[in-house]
Amino acid sequence: MTTSSPRVVAVVGSPHPGGNTSYLVDVALTELESRGVAGEKIVLSEHVVLPCAGHDDCGERAACPLGDEACDILERVYAADGLILASPVYYEDVSGQMKVFIDRNCFNSTHGVWLRARSVGLIAVAESTGLDETLDALRRYVALSSIDRIEPLTASGFAFKAGDAARNQGLVESVRALARSMAGELLRA
């Protein structure tokens, strides 16, 4: 009997597809793939993900009526063995793109659909402040979206201008360590 390798989906909440946050996700996915874990990167700014419309009858609907790409993205996220959530810090919290993504999980929640992820990594990048608040917001998402308690792994640090993350070797190494730990958890299971 052959088993497929575990699969990690990484959700990037930066409006800059080639920015610091996206770069760090690439570092994590490269490390995971070198250890036999498949990876997929979803950059939210490259997709149409509309804000939640707050339908009062969300739990009674068979499908979300917004008709954007969020349902497909969420399907891939919820089916993954592992999950990486990565956001730059905007105004002491997650980016707008990540917040919209988090809000769109309401449909799954009202329908009793839970993350399958056995390992979760959180990456936050700030110019100077807000790392703890951003990681806390991402932790809350994981707790609200999981039926089992998952203790996310974290990597965070400072990078502002394009390319700063690549020059911050401590941050790069912390992301590699996060990915190594995730691979260990996923391959052990």
Domain with 147 in it: what CATH number? 3.40.50.360
**How does residue 4 score in pLDDT terms, banded at 50, 70 and 90?**
confident
Domain presence at residue 2: no
Give dist(CA 189, CA 186) in Å, integer.
5
Domain presence at residue 66: yes
Domain presence at residue 170: yes
pLDDT tens-digit profile of 11-62? 999 999 999 999 999 999 999 999 999 999 999 999 999 999 999 899 999 9
Domain presence at residue 147: yes
**Range 167-182 average pLDDT:** 98
β-strand pairing of 153-158 with 38-43: unpaired
Hey, is 156 helix, strand or coil? strand
Give dist(CA 164, CA 29) in Å, integer.
19
Length of the chain: 189
**Range 64-93 average pLDDT:** 97
Whether this model's pTM surpasses 0.85: yes
pLDDT at residue 3 greater than cutoff 80: no
Domain presence at residue 164: yes
β-strand pairing of 38-43 with 82-88: unpaired
Give me the amino acid identity at 103: D
pLDDT at residue 2 greater than cutoff 70: no
Q: Average pLDDT, whole number, for the chain?
A: 96
